[in-house]
């Protein structure tokens, strides 16, 4: 189906600006965004991001005065037990820091716009931890996975992937076949039933449709007020203005004492804090520490990433390219393979940009847990390679492609504990971080999700930084 047909009977969008949202928000309210991989920052600018969550880290983040703080938990790459522990830790530390800073918090579980991740585990854990540590119990849980900038929209509670004007229910896309987080349903109400094992019936999930949203914030607030405590709400969105309408309604309910817990895709945070869509960052706004080549690290295996890697190599045929063999990273050849690859990458950086990518064969285990374990071994190999290269020949910039890859490269290989999100490298996509701590200070770090952009997007970003 084409998108025009899908939206043919949808009401016109309300005109709502970012300043309209800011006018409704409480200046002492802060979103604490637990990001299950670092790609959630791609839609925002000028906000702090943490890869550690000791009290001093949250104190620093709140002291910036930002309306939202990202805490990189990286839980999409972790098992359930570790996921629970990290979510609980962040809530405890954040609530204590908020009391010291005089801030009121709303917790956001930021996850994948194609519905992969630990749901309902993370929202259940957050809700329990908030109450345990003295916070106000959220009355509602809103699901807002839409990411219009990247072609993910929700209409009549059905979540779609849009490519070249054609819409496909997300349950029929490759993302739904994920080895760990796969699913069948595209209707968010049925998806909640599926993911909760029937604990929450589809009929018990409230539908906040465009028919309500496009009547404005009053209509949304009225619907949400009518729902019993504990309700999960599936939220439609096609445009930024749809997200802003929902944000205004939530600000109003929050002032009335009705708090919410949010499970969202990347752009909702921007809408909730009333941030304008940031202009893409250009090379003249970036400070580079040295004149070596940049390091492009590609770990994601989704088909779009593979297409982008192919396009990058075609656009830059002379660029040094090193393949990390996945099977060598998970067996006895690991150390020798990494040593040789790191030496080759360091040598190549003296001549220009270097591409390092994992082999395109997707190696999975017998079940989701074993597949996650393989993914972690591969990611740790990538981390070790980048750390060795950083020691041998610090690059001009680092681009990390893929959620697990970009998280581990940031926190482990580059030692980034605190950073500021400068802004997007492409409109609404691909985040540029300015490291504030660690050996990567002065090395721009670009977080590039595996499942966003067009075939030539990676080549475009590399061109901005390398040419």
Question: Is 126 found in the same domain as 102?
Answer: yes
With bands split at pLDDT 50, 70 and 90, how would you rate the model's confidence at 360? low
| Alpha helices (H) along 326-446 | 326-329, 334-349, 368-392, 403-408
Question: Is 242 found in the same domain as 317?
Answer: no
Can you give the pLDDT at residue 160? 98
Q: What is the pTM of this model?
A: 0.90
Q: Does any domain span residue 444?
A: yes
Q: What dihedral angle (degrees, nearest 10) is formed by the CA atoms of 297, 300, 305, 306?
A: 90
Last residue of a domain, one of 272, 292, 319: 272
Q: Does any domain span residue 277?
A: no
Last residue of a domain, one of 272, 291, 320: 272
Question: Is 326 found in the same domain as 264?
Answer: no
Question: Is 341 found in the same domain as 207?
Answer: no
Question: Is 329 found in the same domain as 223?
Answer: no
Cβ contacts of residue 167 below 8 Å, gap of 6+? 1, 2, 3, 6, 153, 160, 161
Q: Please give the residue range of the domain that contains residue 149.
A: 3-272
**What order do you get walking across the sheet with 152-155 strand by strand?**
152-155, 158-163, 166-169
Question: Is 263 found in the same domain as 325?
Answer: no
CATH number (domain holding residue 140): 3.40.50.10840
Q: What residues are paired with 400 via a beta bridge?
A: 297, 447
Question: Is 11 found in the same domain as 80?
Answer: yes
The model's pLDDT over 432-463, given as tens digits with 9 standing for 90+, comes to: 999 998 899 999 999 998 878 899 999 999 99
Q: What angle do CA 435, 437, 438 make, to 5 degrees?
A: 100
The model's pLDDT over 281-317, given as tens digits with 9 standing for 90+, comes to: 988 888 888 889 999 999 877 788 889 999 999 999 9
Q: How many domains does the chain have?
A: 2
Q: Does any domain span residue 278?
A: no
CATH number (domain holding residue 354): 3.40.980.20
The model's pLDDT over 158-193, given as tens digits with 9 standing for 90+, comes to: 999 999 999 999 999 989 998 889 999 999 999 999
Q: Which DSSP helix (H) or strand (E) runs through 359?
A: none
Q: What is the largest CA-CA distance in the chain?
A: 64
Q: Does any domain span residue 132?
A: yes
Distances (CA, A) of 206 to 142, 189, 259: 9, 8, 16
Question: Is 341 found in the same domain as 227?
Answer: no
Question: Is 408 found in the same domain as 304?
Answer: yes
135: DSSP letter: P
Question: Is 348 found in the same domain as 230?
Answer: no
Question: Is 291 found in the same domain as 262?
Answer: no
Last residue of a domain, one of 241, 272, 303: 272
Give the three-state DSSP class for 435. Answer: strand
Question: Is 364 found in the same domain as 412?
Answer: yes
């Amino acid at each position: 189906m084409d998108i025009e047909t899908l939206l043919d009977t949808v009401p016109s969008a309300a005109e709502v600006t970012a300043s309209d949202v800011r006018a409704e928000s409480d200046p002492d309210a802060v979103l604490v965004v637990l990001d299950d991989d670092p790609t959630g920052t791609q839609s925002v600018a000028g906000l702090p991001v943490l890869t550690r969550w000791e009290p001093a880290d949250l104190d620093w983040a709140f002291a910036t005065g930002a309306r939202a703080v990202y805490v990189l938990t990286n839980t999409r790459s972790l098992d359930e037990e570790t996921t629970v522990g990290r979510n609980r830790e962040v809530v405890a530390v954040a609530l204590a820091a908020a009391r010291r800073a005089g801030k009121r918090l709303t917790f956001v579980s930021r996850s994948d716009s194609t519905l992969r991740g630990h749901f309902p585990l993370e929202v259940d854990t957050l809700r329990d931890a908030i109450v345990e540590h003295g916070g106000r119990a959220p009355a509602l849980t809103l699901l807002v996975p839409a990411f219009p900038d990247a072609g993910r929209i929700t209409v009549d509670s059905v979540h779609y992937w849009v490519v070249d004007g054609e819409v496909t229910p997300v349950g029929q896309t490759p993302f739904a076949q994920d080895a760990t987080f796969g699913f069948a349903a595209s209707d968010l109400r049925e998806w909640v039933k599926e993911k909760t094992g029937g604990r929450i019936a589809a009929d018990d999930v409230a539908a906040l449709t465009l028919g309500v949203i496009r009547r404005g914030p009053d209509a949304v607030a009225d619907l949400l007020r009518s729902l019993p405590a504990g309700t999960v709400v599936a939220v439609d969105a096609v445009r930024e203005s749809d997200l802003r309408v929902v944000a205004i309604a939530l600000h109003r309910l929050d002032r009335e004492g009705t708090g919410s817990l949010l499970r969202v895709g990347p752009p909702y945070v921007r809408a909730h804090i009333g941030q304008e869509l940031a202009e893409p960052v250009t090379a003249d706004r970036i400070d580079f520490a040295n004149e070596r080549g940049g390091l492009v690290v590609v770990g994601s295996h989704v088909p779009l990433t593979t297409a982008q890697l192919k396009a990058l190599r075609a656009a830059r045929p002379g660029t040094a390219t090193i393949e990390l063999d996945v099977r060598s990273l998970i067996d006895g050849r690991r150390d020798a393979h990494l040593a040789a690859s790191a030496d080759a990458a360091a040598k190549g950086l003296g001549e220009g940009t270097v591409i390092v990518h994992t082999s395109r064969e997707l190696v999975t285990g017998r079940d989701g847990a074993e597949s996650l374990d393989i993914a972690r071994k591969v990611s740790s190999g990538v981390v070790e390679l980048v750390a060795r290269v950083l020691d041998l020949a610090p690059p001009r910039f680092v681009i990390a492609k893929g959620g697990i890859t970009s998280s581990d490269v940031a926190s482990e290989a580059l030692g980034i504990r605190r950073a500021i999100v400068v802004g997007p490298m492409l409109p609404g996509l691909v985040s540029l971080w300015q490291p504030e701590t660690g050996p990567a200070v002065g090395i721009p770090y670009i977080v590039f999700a595996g499942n966003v952009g067009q075939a030539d997007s990676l080549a475009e970003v590399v061109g901005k930084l390398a040419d």
